[in-house]
Amino acid sequence: MVLPPFALVLDDHQDVLWRYVVAMAGPHDGADLYQETLVAALRTYPALHDATNLRSWLLTIAHAKVVDAARAGSRRPVPVAEPEAAATHLPEPADDELWGAVARLPDKQRAAVVARYVGDLAYADVARVVGCTEAAARQNVRAGLARLREEL
């Protein structure tokens, strides 16, 4: 099988990939995860056997990077300001009420909703990205949307 040049694949899917990592990890960590995803994809691209659904393949790599970053972050200490400074600093309001609600969804529901609606993936591909069955992917999207409707 002849693979298209990686630059063309990236041109076709970079917007979806960027939106996915930013929606899952936030704009600060999303930029780093986007780059890590591209490096990992570029390394494995020559050995790719099936190029029928490159969007799903890229989002699967991105999802793995998001999960790895979340696991690593849970082991890393978080710097905090002095108690007096922290008490006077008001948190930034959420940029958007919807994305704040999406961020509060449980991990699998958030990943499924983002993959389905930001990544524009079919449920079979959502299942592959999230690492579950197609039925579970449908259920996670349904439950996530129900929770969003309830909250908003």
pTM, full prediction: 0.62
* CATH code, domain carrying 151: 1.10.10.10
Measured CA to CA, the distance from residue 93 to residue 91 in angstroms comes to 6
Q: Is the pLDDT of residue 25 over 60?
A: yes
Q: What is the pLDDT of residue 84?
A: 54
Q: At which of 27, 47, 79 does a domain end? A: 79
Is there a single domain that holds both residue 13 and residue 60? yes
46-86 pLDDT, tens digit per residue, is 999 888 899 999 999 999 999 998 888 767 666 665 555 54
- Percent of the chain at pLDDT above 70? 86
* pLDDT for position 28: 83
Same domain as 106, residue 71: no
Domain that holds residue 17: 1-79
Residue 38's CATH number: 1.10.1740.10
